[in-house]
């Protein structure tokens, strides 16, 4: 039985009587590595969306070739804010003062100190009873 990568990469339906061959690009390592992935680096979450594409012959003979098309999207990780266009350093900024934020926050006003966080100053100590957002 063919493995999942081979089935994924062999996307042409072979009509009765067709004499097609399948190029190694449809069953090789590049095909098996054509997967959607997510990684986090420098406070940036990068999602790589991979799609296998096949080039099917138009006639009754020919060779099917495959290629992996990738698109990239970026958003800031929790505890960061910004509008990243890459995973390079400085694309997302860490929330100030040990604050946090939701994944995908784009502005510093999305940063907050969570409810229950302790605080202190010259007058004593305190505890935030609700999320305290940066303004």
pLDDT, one tens digit per residue, over 44-95 is 999 999 988 888 887 778 888 888 899 999 999 999 999 999 989 899 999 9
- Quote the pLDDT of residue 9: 56
Q: How far apart are CA 135 and CA 133, in angstroms?
A: 6
Based on the structure, what is the number of domains in the chain?
Answer: 2
Q: How far apart are CA 96 and CA 92, in angstroms?
A: 12
Q: Using an 8 Å Cβ cutoff, are 18 and 60 in contact?
A: yes
Q: Are residues 101 and 67 in the same domain?
A: no
Q: Are residues 10 and 37 in the same domain?
A: yes
Question: Which of 46, 76, 106 is a domain's end point?
Answer: 76
Q: Are residues 18 and 60 in the same domain?
A: yes
Q: Are residues 67 and 23 in the same domain?
A: yes
Q: How far apart are CA 67 and CA 108, in angstroms?
A: 41
Q: Are residues 72 and 84 in the same domain?
A: no
Q: How far apart are CA 81 and CA 70, in angstroms?
A: 25
Question: Which of 35, 59, 76 is a domain's end point?
Answer: 76
Q: Are residues 68 and 8 in the same domain?
A: yes
Question: Which of 60, 76, 92 is a domain's end point?
Answer: 76
Q: Are residues 66 and 85 in the same domain?
A: no
Q: Are residues 109 and 71 in the same domain?
A: no
Choice among 7-11, 12-16, 91-95 with the minimum mean pLDDT:
7-11
Q: Are residues 24 and 36 in the same domain?
A: yes
Q: Are residues 8 and 68 in the same domain?
A: yes
Which residue would you say has higher pLDDT here, 82 or 4?
A: 82
Q: Are residues 69 and 91 in the same domain?
A: no
Q: Are residues 71 and 126 in the same domain?
A: no
Q: What is the DSSP string of 70-83?
A: EEEEEEEPTTEE--
- Quote the pLDDT of residue 32: 80
Q: Read off the pLDDT of residues 95-126 as tens digits, 9 standing for 90 and up.
A: 998 899 999 999 999 999 999 999 888 999 99
Pull the structure tokens for residue 28. 């090789």
Residues spanned by the domain of 99: 80-133
């Amino acid at each position: 039985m063919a493995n999942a990568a081979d089935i994924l990469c062999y996307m042409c339906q072979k009509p009765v009587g067709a004499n097609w061959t399948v190029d190694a690009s449809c069953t090789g390592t590049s095909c098996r590595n054509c997967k959607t992935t997510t990684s986090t680096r420098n406070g940036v979450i990068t999602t790589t969306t991979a799609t296998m594409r096949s080039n099917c012959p138009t006639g009754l003979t020919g060779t099917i070739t495959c290629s992996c098309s990738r698109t990239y999207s970026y958003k800031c990780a929790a505890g960061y804010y910004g509008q990243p266009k890459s995973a390079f350093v400085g694309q997302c900024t860490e929330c100030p003062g040990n604050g946090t934020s939701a994944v995908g926050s784009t502005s510093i006003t999305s940063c907050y100190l969570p409810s229950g966080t302790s605080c202190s100053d010259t007058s004593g100590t305190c505890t935030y009873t609700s999320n305290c957002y940066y303004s």
